[in-house]
Amino acid sequence: MNKQTHTILKNVFGYDNFRPLQEEIIDRTLEGKDSFVLMPTGGGKSMCFQIPALCMEGITIVVSPLISLMKDQVQALNANGIKADFFNSSISPEEENRVIEEAMKGELKLLYLSPEKLISVSNTWLKSLKIKLVAIDEAHCVSMWGHDFRPEYTQLKVFRNSLPEVPFMALTATADKSARKDIEDQLGLKNSKLFISSFDRKNLSIEVKGMVPKKQKLQEIKRFIKSKKGEGGIIYCLSRKNTEEVSAYLEEEGLSVAHYHAGMNSEDREGVQTSFINDETKIIVATIAFGMGIDKPNVRWVIHYNLPKNLEGYYQEIGRAGRDGLPADTILYYNMRDFVLYSQFADNGANSGMQKEKLNRMLQFAEAKSCRRKILLSYFGEHLTKDCGNCDVCSNPPTNFDGTVLAQKALSTVVRLREKEGLGMVVNVLRGSQNAEIHAKGYSKVKTYGIAKETSFYDWRDYMVQLANQGAIEIMYSENSSLKMSKIGWEIVKGERKIQLTKPVQLKDKEKLTKKKPAKVVSLNDVNSDLFEELKKLRFSISREENVPAYIVFGDKSLKEMAADLPITENEFLAISGVGMNKMQQFGEEFMEVIRKYKAKAKPKKIPTTIVTFDLYKEGLTPEQIAEKRGIQLMTVFSHLSQLFSEGKEVDLAQFVEAGIIERVKGAFEKNERKFELKPIFDSLDEEVPYHEIRIALTLILKDE
């Protein structure tokens, strides 16, 4: 355990524990090694380079193509007391000079640059900086196999080679196997380690609706939004015209809505985005130009009005919902017209074949009859063992059958064609097609030729998609979309594993299905809704004064914890997830005052939270077990135990802090003129004693007097 990184995590960012892989990535970076971080949207990528930046002497350079994200992250860092800034085309020459001066003086810990700006200044003032780490965000932009290729990113390899001893970190939320290797090569990463976090966003419900008429679709969307009672969301449309039409319809229905697309001037786009980020506009209807780099954590739903172009883009777009970990809904509408339009776009674009194959895969996802989360995760190389229970297919489960023999026929054909052919050719061989190419390649002589003539091409296509979705085969876009066997596929062929498939459902049968409400992820319990609304109003007021988005002050998750745990002391408030020392000092007293007033007038509705903790303590549970059982922070448990001890309850508080620590705290307490203030004591103890131990020690000291 690196004590410094844990101290920064708690005191600066306000979190007790790292998310999976974060600590390992941070430790590797501090060892001076390169890393490739593949984490889903909202998975905590930024922390992987922000914490090392605070541990190192010198500056961290962050390369990002997204001006809005730079501004957002810099504001969030500044709110946590970290000196950071950005350098891109949006700032004036005077601001450029200020940023350069602060960077050269060593006053900045992190500097965000667009790739264009980085390249233009890499041989000038940037060379004089004491660069200790370089993070390349949105790294998929460097790959021609990525869905958002940016040519200027390919020049970053030269910059990497100019800093051979500095660790580089590539970060992205979307990169398939073809893109991953390309990214490493293009950026010149040295012996980098690939970190793949789980892409399973359990809090997102997934629903897909096909072939819904336009009028019905608009009515469904209106009803859905009104059921959400003012919660914010994004509707993605295929065309600019769609965004304006849908936005106008919803505005006529009295909803807080605006549209956004690339045809608007930059000032109008900026205004729409800012209004949404600041919670002034609840709904944005936009083309996919909207949302890149927006770190708004309380987007409660995302609707796709049309079929997305590929699964990478779809996953990234739905990932903009529920970034705070609370439940969020996603709905995808599609029809064949969307598919045809995108196919036409692909015909005229770069990498046409690859783009069309990815579009096919997107359609296959939309038409699938197995757990949608399984399909998504399989696409990114992750395989669930159980269905998710939080998608429309799981809510309306189809009738499955043992498809092992059928799968063996298909997979054997993939092998006999030496894993060089795509889905269409494999199906044609299975059905014994008289296609001239089959005879020219000698495929009519393979053992499985014509082995399944009785099954239609449509059904075989469906079965092959199911095999891909369940991880038995992979579609390699970088190799002419050839089908490759996976470990699961080989196990099926060898008879070591069985597989369930679903009979293809015709459209007329699909329309008969009645949707059940997707399963919901449990939210925070015991939230006082009235208090939550009061805290939101205070947050909004502060955000206007500070000229920052509301979630920069505190996220919804933090406010819900406050509304559940009712913290009214400094120690209790610091126990709230997302509350670091800087935010505690800036905003803590105002929020605690609202909570105190609420507690003073609110009628008791339940057993005091401290008594619940005390009952579990008497049952013999450790503080860690109590925190886990109650779903609260460990620091909150220690706060409860300290309060219970002060009230005379039988709590053996001394077992949680060493005698030597008590003496050190006592000395610092006396030095601070016996003021019950945690921060000055923490500072005077060289930040070596955690806040909960200081609180416990002070409670014991005062009890003995």
Q: Are residues 45 and 163 in the same domain?
A: yes
Residue 502 in this model has a pLDDT that exceeds 80: yes
Q: From CA 4, how far away is CA 687, in angstroms rounded?
A: 9
Q: Are residues 329 and 362 in the same domain?
A: yes
CATH label of the domain that carries residue 73:
3.40.50.300
Say whether 156 sits in a helix, a strand or coil: helix
Q: Which domain holds residue 37?
A: 3-196
CA atoms within 13 A on the CB side of 576: 29
Reported as a pLDDT band with limits 50, 70 and 90, residue 526 is: low
Comparison of pLDDT for 67 and 611, the residue scoring more: 611
CB burial readout 639-659, b (16+ within 10 A) else e: bbbbbbbeeeeebebeebbee
How high is the pLDDT of residue 292? 58
Reported as a pLDDT band with limits 50, 70 and 90, residue 234 is: very high
pLDDT digits (tens, 9 = 90+) for 379-415: 887 888 889 999 999 988 877 899 999 999 999 999 9
Burial class (CB in 10 A: 0-12, 13-18, 19+), 41: buried
Q: From CA 363, how far away is CA 379, in angstroms rounded?
A: 13
Q: Are residues 133 and 267 in the same domain?
A: no
- On whether residue 519 sits in a domain, the answer given is no
Q: What angle do CA 252, 254, 259 make, to 5 degrees?
A: 65
Question: What are the backbone dihedrals phi and psi of residue 247, each rounded to the nearest 5 degrees, phi first?
Answer: -60, -45
> How is residue 50 written in tokens?
């922000």
Among residues 272, 331, 269, the alpha carbon closest in space to that of 300 is found at 331
- On whether residue 142 sits in a domain, the answer given is yes
pLDDT digits (tens, 9 = 90+) for 350-369: 678 888 888 989 998 998 88
Burial class (CB in 10 A: 0-12, 13-18, 19+), 252: exposed
Average pLDDT over residues 492-505: 88
Lookup result for tokens 């506009």: 281
Distance in Å from the first CA to the final CA of the chain: 37
Q: Are residues 595 and 642 in the same domain?
A: yes
In the predicted model, what is the mean pLDDT of the chain?
Answer: 87
Residue 348 in this model has a pLDDT that exceeds 50: yes
Element (H, E) at 324: none
The answer to whether the CB of 577 falls within 8 A of the CB of 544 is no
Reported as a pLDDT band with limits 50, 70 and 90, residue 517 is: very low
- On whether residue 512 sits in a domain, the answer given is no
Using the 3D structure, point to which of 162, 196, 230 is the last residue of a domain: 196
How high is the pLDDT of residue 687? 76
Q: What single string gives the DSSP state of each residue in 502-533?
A: E----HHHHTTPPPPPPP-----SS--HHHHH
Average pLDDT over residues 115-138: 93
Residue 602 in this model has a pLDDT that exceeds 80: no
The answer to whether the CB of 552 falls within 8 A of the CB of 79 is yes
Q: Are strands 35-38 and 84-87 parallel, antiparallel or unpaired?
A: unpaired
Q: What residue ranges in 151-228 does DSSP mark as E strands? A: 168-172, 193-196, 204-210
Residue 226 in this model has a pLDDT that exceeds 70: yes
Reported as a pLDDT band with limits 50, 70 and 90, residue 79 is: very high
pLDDT digits (tens, 9 = 90+) for 278-294: 888 999 999 876 765 56
pLDDT digits (tens, 9 = 90+) for 535-581: 999 999 999 898 888 889 999 999 999 998 899 988 889 989 999 99
Using the 3D structure, point to which of 196, 228, 248 is the last residue of a domain: 196
> How is residue 273 written in tokens?
């985005």
Residue 514 in this model has a pLDDT that exceeds 90: no
Q: Are residues 47 and 179 in the same domain?
A: yes
Q: What percent of the chain has pLDDT over 90?
A: 46
Q: What is the pTM of this model?
A: 0.65
Question: What are the backbone dihedrals phi and psi of residue 38, each rounded to the nearest 5 degrees, phi first?
Answer: -115, 100
How high is the pLDDT of residue 54? 96
Reported as a pLDDT band with limits 50, 70 and 90, residue 605 is: low
The answer to whether the CB of 640 falls within 8 A of the CB of 621 is no
How high is the pLDDT of residue 505? 53
Q: Are residues 235 and 305 in the same domain?
A: yes
Q: Are residues 688 and 550 in the same domain?
A: yes
CATH label of the domain that carries residue 624:
1.10.150.80
Nearby residues of 349 by Cβ (< 8 Å), 6 or more positions away: 355
Distance from the Cα of residue 610 to its chain's centroid:
34
Q: Total structural domains in the chain? A: 4
> How is residue 21 written in tokens?
């892989």
Using the 3D structure, point to which of 361, 377, 395 is the last residue of a domain: 395
Residue 432 in this model has a pLDDT that exceeds 90: yes
